[in-house]
Amino acid sequence: MVGAGASGHDEDNIPAASGSPDASLTQDDSFTATSHAGLTYPWGEAAPATGETIRIAPGISWARIPMPGSLGHINSWLLDDADADGDGVAIVDTGICLTMCSDEWKALYAGALKDVRITRVVGTHLHPDHIGLAGWIAKKLDVKLWMTRGEMLTARAIVADTSETVPDEVLVQSRAAGWDDAAIERQKSEGWGRFGMMVYPLPRSYVRMKDGDVVDMGAHQWRVVTGSGHSPEHACLWNEREGVLVSGDQVLPRISSNVSVNITEPDADPLGEWLDSIDKLLRVLPSDLIVCPAHGEPFKGLHVRLMALRDEHRMRLYNLAESIAKAPMRAVDSFPLLFNRPIGAHNQGLATGEALAHLKRLEVEGRVKREDRDGVWWYHGVA
């Protein structure tokens, strides 16, 4: 597919190390407790080895791309895609722009994908572990990138922010959430623009996917089903005939996707959008699908999982509202109520975004109100 130079990097200068201390901090993994009781795993704990794929059902195979950090991998789904030029494969999600990810693609091209024609690259959503190498593959193989408009345009806006200095708006929000001076100084020292470091330059043009579209891949048709909250317009792909759903991060078996208030939309209600999306998927999708997630193993029990995700978020909202009714709190004070792991310097930013999302949902529901005290937000119960 590509050649490697003496430096260990390919000719496109894909970096060997991420600009982030944990390259999995791409907003995929929540810090909240979750249960995957009631799910079944037809392939158990099996996973594709380097350069290999596992056939999941007619029309879809599974590759696994390694990543550094706590998540450790992203699943790439390879969809059979016959067109006028003959048989081929569409790639769904690619891994981060790191040599450990691009090396796996080289291994696949020397192994399971040897002599296989790639027809297109699909990004379920904008996070770097999903589209980090999409531009690289599209460029090398002269194929189109397919995404929803909300994901593509948001990705472009974030990549275009090349400032190395942490924006004032970010520091204001951190202070409002209750960060102390030391934490804010640390945030300043860490710089900005990590997203762009983990994404290979995106192509100037793309093919837009919309909710309800049916993407024809020869003998197989994949319906686009969108969700929101984790990202603006996340695309899932549903093969109704074969009973398969490529769920991306919209439904994960063992972890809950991060749902955060981000500085690009500081007044948004992402948790409300996330809960609405869960209800939508329960209405639209049957319960007996094979679910192919971005992280973890393929599973069955879609409705069980969706209801667990919904109910767990609702319980956290209830507990948070009950605590605030007893005493006002800031976003940082809510961490022990929301998260099942220690929050420290390495994950305080993502934890803050998720805490703000829960507090915003309670505001929208009229269960708490926010008071600004000298730039710090305090949340009070509503009688």
pLDDT in tens, 131-162: 999 999 999 999 999 999 999 999 999 988 88
pLDDT greater than 80 at residue 6: no
pTM for this entry: 0.92
Domain assignments of the chain as residue spans, ordered by start: 54-381
CA distance 45 to 56: 14
SS3 294: coil
Q: Kindly tell me the sign of the dihedral angle through the C-alpha atoms of 339, 349, 236, 293.
A: negative
Report pLDDT digits (tens) over 279-325: 999 999 999 999 999 999 999 999 999 999 999 999 999 999 999 99
Task: Kindly report each contact of residues 179-183 with a partner whose C-beta sits within 8 Å and lies 24 or more positions away, as own/partner.
Answer: 179/332, 179/348, 179/352, 183/345, 183/348
At residue 35, φ and ψ (nearest 5 deg) are: -120, 140
Contacts of 119 (CB under 8 A, 6+ apart): 81, 83, 85, 88, 89, 90, 143, 217
What region does 264 belong to: left with phi over 0, alpha with psi -120 to 50, or beta?
alpha
CA distance 132 to 317: 33
Instruction: Please compute the mean of the pLDDT values over residues 227-236 and round it to a whole number.
Output: 98
SS3 letters for 145-209? EEEEHHHHHHHHHHHHCCCCCCCHHHHHHHHHHCCCHHHHHHHHHHCCCHHHHCCCCCCCCCEEE
Q: Kindly tell me the sign of the dihedral angle through the C-alpha atoms of 298, 273, 202, 209.
A: positive
Cβ neighbours, 10 Å, residue 168: 8
CA distance 362 to 379: 10
- pLDDT band with cut points at 50, 70 and 90 for residue 64: very high
- pLDDT band with cut points at 50, 70 and 90 for residue 7: very low
Angle ∠(293,299,300) on CA atoms, nearest 5: 125
Token pair, residue 149, equals: 């408009």
Contacts of 192 (CB under 8 A, 6+ apart): 161, 163, 164, 165, 166, 167, 170
pLDDT greater than 70 at residue 85: yes
Token pair, residue 101, equals: 């990810």
54-381 to CATH, choices 3.40.50.1980, 3.60.15.10, 2.60.290.11, 2.40.128.110: 3.60.15.10
- pLDDT band with cut points at 50, 70 and 90 for residue 231: very high
CA distance 173 to 316: 22
Question: Residue 112 to residues 51, 54, 70, 137: CA-CA distances in angstroms?
Answer: 6, 9, 27, 16
